[in-house]
Structure 1
């Protein structure tokens, strides 16, 4: 069942890329969208079959692959990976739907998006360290090409910077994975047989540094964040949706799955430093966002701050905080995707993202009142207004982290206030006031441009009002992970 989920985008990419006759952009987009919808529906089918009360891995698949390396084809789903798989399926559909029908080299473009989807799915399903690494690296090249070929004026610089940072991230992660297996004399790279928790504390800390820096680059955390604003600004809107909504979550997922879960003694020792690191990322990201005049770069820096909340929750390592971390991953995926979609529509119609140029877009006659209303909703969700999924995710994180790190939690709460500041600046400058002269004759915004944003806005409100529908799938797994970690640290 899980292999099908990996094969579907691969088959779709091959079909679009190597179809024997010529196909235009509209047909290629239709084929890619059909494939993405099937992937999403299959993920929903797995969700229906998933038992939320079961702690361990479900739908497990295991096949021998390269025995001499100890590498096996091990797949599985639990409550940590399931919400992220659903998020990936949804945002892949939205990214394909939001792509321009007249895009150049459409067959190559849509094949790369589906190949990117394959890498993300495989990484979330992998129950083997080397298998995870292979899928983690698989998504690198498609994303590089999607930025380098279809990006903005400085796409070459942004894509190369992303490639260098992410390649270095992969080197550190691979070194830590190899160290875990070889130093602990584990027979394979499978998570079920790995006993890295038996290593001395000093060795665990050394391995954890590689994990933290490697995945910290991907998240990204301060000071490894500089590739992200450039990548977002130069990437097209659909690629920014995937980058912020899904690909950054590979970093936070990796910290929880391979850092906290496999090296519990080192994680507990480093937790105070990690909580302080989280505060720095939250406050620095928010401060940088306030200084921006490019709407897209402002949203990009907001991601740096909001991903810091997840590190705070992971450092606390309580059942409530880790539950909040999973909620924040989904929340940030939905909210950031909505914000980038709306900024993309504004740029497409107004020809600018500069807050010094764009004014009065909420004008009911000549502006973009519907887009502006959706932007207000997105800002409210990102700022943690009650009734939105952003509020409940951050509240659970703060509630679960306060007992462990009260000072760091209080300082991180300042980030929510700063979020309100920079996004209110965005709303005030871009949407209120008199419509600026260059924007008087704006092109019409069609419903086809609004549908993806409406879907995301609906989910943001629904999960904000009824978060139990999301918590239901992950609570047992998180409780089991934390209980296991606490038991191991007590024994050691």
Structure 2
């Protein structure tokens, strides 16, 4: 079944490519939605059949591909990758649903949905690949659809943002590939299979050098300050569906890679760099929070808020205790849901009002002329982002900070300040945009139709469900996080 999460989106893309262009039909969107939904349902079936007592890889497939290069089709899923595969399926399905309506048509719909389906396969492939070169192929190929999705369907500065994203992420891939090739060369290995790489035989200095190369590569992707400058441009210039994907799941490839190919591959020397990584995570969290407070563009505010909160994951990974790693996995899942909801709501606000500027938006909670339901969902998303109990954000942050405190007590306390700053910039957003008197010249805003609310409602339900029942999430990853932590503590 795991292979179907890669194959089905490709089949859907091929079918869309064969079909003729039909300007007055949503057939391309419907086909993409069907195949992405099936792939998502398959990921849920994998979760149902998943052995929660087993912390190692499951549902594995091994096929020789190019053995003389060490490149094999080796895939599997564990408690680290499974929640992210499910998250990918959910967010991309909702992004496709939001993509095209008769009222808001997408130019070149055939190409648009082909690219999104290919992106689905690339992200899933990177998450389940157990061969280093196979991971790298998926990790790099995804640049093509993302670049085209930004440059064709983005905002006014889309070409600049797309090129900047491409260059930064290409450099990320160069660092990652260099580390993989260096590891293979220094260990005299003839394979890149994850479970056959023995970094422990290398001298400590060489391990640290390779680990630093891996960390720099994924630090660009996460991103970590000061390698973050691509983020506000890419997020704000992208269309709403792509912003949901970038913030919701694609950024998680960086934190996923940090755990899988940093901590798991180099456990013996992880402790040598972890204090510096934790320091950068704290700087990134505080910086992102302070810059978010100063923003006048709602979407850019959320972009910097995303930077702050994703670095809570980096701090938890740096601590590398079983509790902090479990928290990091939960926080990645929670962050993806919350950011996707926030970007979705900002997209509705921009579409109905024609602006994202705080200074031009007032009183949208007005029950007659405003967007009251959007305001209600925004309050829920803000509460989840602030880590209010009963929301999925609470369990991720609580476990991350509790697990990190034993290793980095000062850094953890500083990150708690960053969570407090979350309330500052989101209260500014809510107060200026939704409360107060709505200007008479604004008139009656266009009503948000039921189908436009559906994605936000689904994300809100999932956020509340996992907030009230976090065991459904923690049970999946508990044994895997303990197994990863044992590597670095031995």
- TM-score, normalised on structure 1? 0.97
Name the SS for the 1:474 alignment partner: helix
Q: Distance in 1 between matches of 2:122 and 2:469?
A: 31
The answer for unaligned runs of 5 or more in structure 1 is 488-492
> Which residue in 1 is equivalent to 2:6?
6
C-alpha displacement of 1:437: 3.7
- 2:101 is equivalent to residue 98 of structure 1: no
Once the two structures are superposed, residues 373-429 of structure 1 have per-residue CA deviations (whole angstroms, 9 ceiling, x without a partner) of: 110011111111111111111111110000101000000110100111000000001
CA contact (8 A) 1:25 1:107 kept: no
Contact 2:278 2:314 in 1 (8 A): yes
- Check if 1:143 corresponds to 2:161: no
Instruction: Could you list the structure 1 runs, at least 4 aligned residues long, displaced by more than 3 angstroms after superposition.
Output: 20-25
What is the distance in 2 between the residues matched to 1:199 and 1:437?
70
- Among 358, 363, 371, the residue aligned to 1:360: 363
TM-fit CA distance, 1:461? 1.1
CA contact (8 A) 2:270 2:488 kept: no
**Counterpart for residue 370 of structure 1:** 373
Give the Cα–Cα distance (whole angstroms) in 2 for the partners of residues 21 and 274 of structure 1. Answer: 50
Is it true that 1:278 corresponds to 2:320 in the alignment? no
* Corresponding residue to 1:194 among 181, 194, 197: 197
- SS of structure 1 residue aligned to 2:63: strand
Distance 2:442 2:11 in 1: 44
**Cα deviations across residues 445-469 of structure 1 (Å, max 9, x unaligned)?**
1111111101111111111111111
Unaligned runs of 5+ in 2: none
Identify the residue that residue 321 of structure 2 maps to in structure 1.
318
Q: Does 1:43 align with 2:49?
A: no
C-alpha displacement of 1:18: 2.3
- Alignment of 1:263 with 2:263, yes or no, is no
8 A Cα contact 1:181 1:196, kept in partner: no
Change (3 A) 1:40 1:23: farther
Deviation at 1:196, TM superposition (A): 1.5
The residue matched to 1:75 in structure 2 has which SS?
A: strand
Asked whether the equivalents of residues 267 and 487 of structure 2 are also in contact (C-alpha less than 8 Å), the reply is no
| TM-score (normalizing by structure 2) | 0.98
Aligned-residue offset at 1:184: 1.4
Which residue is 1:490 aligned to? Answer: none
- Describe the shift of the 1:131–1:454 C-alpha distance in structure 2 as closer, same or farther (beyond 3 A): same
1:112-191 aligned at under 5 Å gives the runs 112-191=115-194
Matched-pair contact (CA < 8 Å) for 2:61–2:74: yes
- The alpha-carbon deviation at position 235 of structure 1 amounts to 0.4
CA distance, structure 1, for counterparts of residue 366 and residue 267 of structure 2:
54
Work out the CA distance in 2 between the residues paired with 1:270 and 1:460.
Answer: 34
How far off is 1:198 after superposition? 2.3
Query: CA–CA distance in 1 between the matches of 2:474 and 2:108?
Result: 41
Distance 2:271 2:80 in 1: 20
Deviation of residue 50 (structure 1)? 1.0
- Partners of 1:207 and 1:7 lie apart in 2 by 33
Give me the whole-angstrom Cα distance separating, in 2, the residues matched to 1:116 and 1:105: 17
Picking from 464, 476, 483, the partner of 1:480 is: 483
CA distance in 2, matches of 1:420, 1:321: 23
> Residues of 1 paired with 2:439 and 2:223: CA distance?
36
Q: Give yes or no for contact 2:2–2:43 (8 Å, CA) kept in 1.
A: no
**Whole-Å Cα distance in 1 between the matches of residues 291 and 20 of structure 2?**
49
CA offsets per residue over residues 64-100 of structure 1, 9 Å max, x none?
Answer: 1111111111000101000000000000110000112
Cα distance between partner residues in 2 of 1:47 and 1:266: 33
Are the aligned partners of 1:83 and 1:330 in contact in 2 as well (CA < 8 Å)?
A: yes
CA distance in 2 between counterparts of 1:21 and 1:377 reads 40
What's the counterpart of residue 469 of structure 1? 472
Residue 212 (structure 1) shift: 1.1
Quick one: distance in 1 between partners of 2:441 and 2:333? 37
Q: Is the 8 A contact 1:316 1:401 kept in 2?
A: yes
CA distance in 2, matches of 1:21, 1:214: 40
Matched residue SS, 1:243: helix
Shift of 1:25: 4.8
Alpha-carbon distance in structure 1 between the residues aligned to 2:441 and 2:232:
27
Deviations 1:317-350 (A, max 9, x none): 0000000000000000000000000000000000
Deviation, 1:265, is 2.1
For 1:406 and 1:320, the matched residues in 2 are separated by 14
- Contact 1:112-1:142 at 8 Å conserved across structures: yes
Q: Is the 1:187–1:193 contact (alpha carbons within 8 Å) kept by the matching residues of 2?
A: no
In structure 2, how many angstroms separate the alpha carbons of the residues matched to 1:438 and 1:288? 31
Secondary structure of the 2:136 match is helix
**1:75: which partner in 2?**
75
Distance in structure 2 (CA, Å) of the matches to 1:451 and 1:432: 24
1:85 equivalent in structure 2: 85
